Amino acid sequence: MIPHTPSESPPSNLAALAEDHYFNANPPPKDLQKHMELAKDFIEFHSKAGRRLVLVTSGGTTVPLEKQTVRFIDNFSAGTRGATSAEYFLEAGYAVLFLHRQFSLLPYSRHYSHATDCFLDFLREGPNGSVVARDEDAGKMLNVLRKYREARDKNMLLVLPFVSISDYLHELRGIAQLMKPLGPEGLLYLAAAVSDFFVPPERMSEHKIQSTDAVEAFNKKPSKPSASEEEETFDNFDSSPSVPRSKRLVVDLDPVPKFLKNLVEGWSPEGMIVSFKLETDPKILVHKAKYSLDRYQHHLVIGNLLSTRKWEVVFVSPGNPDKWIRIPQGGKLDDAKEAEKDEPLDPKSLPEQEPEAEIESLIIPAVAELHTKYIKTMEGKKLEA
């Protein structure tokens, strides 16, 4: 990989203006200060130990429709990619700062939460009123528990939550800026599914959006509307015009400014930045990944398709041929040589069940290898300068 030369200049004026405007207009999450203190201590601790550190973002961001939020639009993501990747990064010796959507999957506990089985199904009554793991689950659980305890006891994992798109962007900017002193040893692995659209605060209702005219009716007693007025006033999806029921809700969303440029040029100019690109149309995936790399000048885009994301991803990085990483279709890693096809698999050709092996077990070593090359190149450049 040929790393892009980090620019010494601040982001272009336009990007800087958009940043100021967005961050002034959209209030930070209430725990931002507390999170930044935790992140600062964590980053300093690992920086002193000379350890590599990765920021993993995970889960989807919400787009609130009201300031006192009852309703919101959500982005697809369970947090599987992020939580699983975090475990493999820890295994590879990285300290992990895990910025995730609140209540999405977490490293280690993901094996027992959000599953079709309730976590209680993994337990049974033991002797003298104790609770123990079921015999058939005990081996795996002990393994997971040991890894979790080790990460926790050695302070290798810091977990911070976000909910909305603006929470996420405030947290990302703050953490990326704190990671600056790590230089090229810092890795940003952006797997969160981030909304491209939002409701700007000046257009956001303070209170719950009403679906009927009951509040207006409360303020002025209406005379009985004529049939035509009724049609205009009420949108009866159930085609019973005699029952005034619902108003149509038209949601007008603005595009979220693209802050990847600000991240690359200003917030974390020396760190290695890996973004994900999710698409549903196989024909455009690689093109969109290349477009993103070209536009933001970062270091690696990992492309994946919604339907095949657990089976294959494509690495698109500057100066390298596109590289597909796949779980062999038997589902296990050792049952076939990785297929050498350099275009997306046909989703219909894949087995219905999820693969037994986790594709992150292949993604993370490949990312870590690129990170090693990146660090070496950056060190070389510093010596030359």
Residue 362 as a binder of ligand PAZ (CB under 6 A): the answer is no
We find the least distance from the C-beta atom of residue 83 to ligand PAZ, in angstroms, to be 8
Segment near ligand PAZ (CB under 6 A), from 7-15, 36-44, 255-263, 275-283?
275-283
Instruction: Report yes or no: 209 and 303 within 8 Å, Cβ to Cβ.
Output: no
The pairing of strands 272-279 and 186-190 is parallel
Question: In this chain, which of 39, 278, 364, 368 binds ligand PAZ, going by CB under 6 A?
Answer: 278
Smallest gap from residue 236 Cβ to ligand PAZ (A)? 37
What is the rounded distance in angstroms from the CA atom of residue 58 to the CA atom of residue 85? 10
Site string for ligand PAZ, 323-342 (x = CB under 6 A): --------------------
Closest approach, Cβ 77 to ligand PAZ, in A, equals: 4
Binding segment toward ligand PAZ, per CB under 6 A, in 89-97, 112-120, 251-259, 276-284: 276-284
Using the contact rule CB under 6 A, the part of the chain among 64-72, 73-81, 145-153, 245-253 near ligand PAZ is 73-81
315: tokens are 């690495």
* 168 counts as binding ligand PAZ under rule CB under 6 A: no
Q: Which is nearer to ligand PAZ, 192 or 378 (CB)?
A: 192
Q: Binding to ligand PAZ by residue 73, rule CB under 6 A? A: no
Q: Which is nearer to ligand PAZ, 316 or 375 (CB)?
A: 316
Which part of the chain contacts ligand PAZ (CB under 6 A), choosing from 11-19, 77-85, 175-183, 233-241?
A: 77-85
- CB closer to ligand PAZ out of 261 and 277: 277
Q: Which of 304, 358, 359, 363 is the binder for ligand PAZ (CB under 6 A)?
A: 304
Q: How far is the CB of 33 from ligand PAZ (least distance, A)?
A: 27
What is the footprint of ligand PAZ within residues 193-232 (CB under 6 A)? Answer: 193-194
Contact map string, positions 105 to 144, toward ligand PAZ, x by CB under 6 A: ----------------------------------------
Among 61, 77, 166, 308, binds ligand PAZ (CB under 6 A): 77
Find the part of the chain contacting ligand PAZ (CB under 6 A) among 8-16, 41-49, 124-132, 186-194.
186-194
Q: Does 162 bind ligand PAZ (CB under 6 A)?
A: no
Single-letter code of the amino acid located at 188: L
311 contacts ligand PAZ (rule: CB under 6 A): no
Q: Report the residue from 71, 287, 309, 323 that binds ligand PAZ according to the rule CB under 6 A.
A: 309
Closest CA to 85 of 288, 352, 360, 362: 360
- CB nearer to ligand PAZ: give 124 or 309: 309
Q: Is 164 in the site for ligand PAZ (CB under 6 A)?
A: no
| Residue whose C-alpha is closest to residue 276's, from 257, 296, 256, 248 | 296
Return the HEC string of the chain.
CCCCCCCCCCCCHHHHHHHHHHHHHCCCCCCHHHHHHHHHHHHHHHHHCCCCEEEEEECECEEECECCCCCEEECCCCCHHHHHHHHHHHHCCCEEEEEEECCCCCCCHHHCCCCCCCHHHHEEECHHHCEEECHHHHHHHHHHHHHHHHHHHCCCEEEEEECEHHHHHHHHHHHHHHCHHHHHHEEEEECCECCCEECCHHHCECCCCCCCCHHHHHHCCCCCCCHHHHHHHCCCCCCCCCCCCCCCCCCCCEECCCCHHHHHHHHCCCCEEEEEEEECCCCCHHHHHHHHHHHHCCCEEEEEEHHHCCCEEEEECCCCCCEEEECCCCCCCCCCCCCCCCCCCCHHHCCCCCCCCCCHHHHHHHHHHHHHHHHHHHHHHHHHC
Would you tell me which residues interact with ligand PAZ (CB under 6 A)? 77-81, 191, 193-194, 276-278, 304, 309
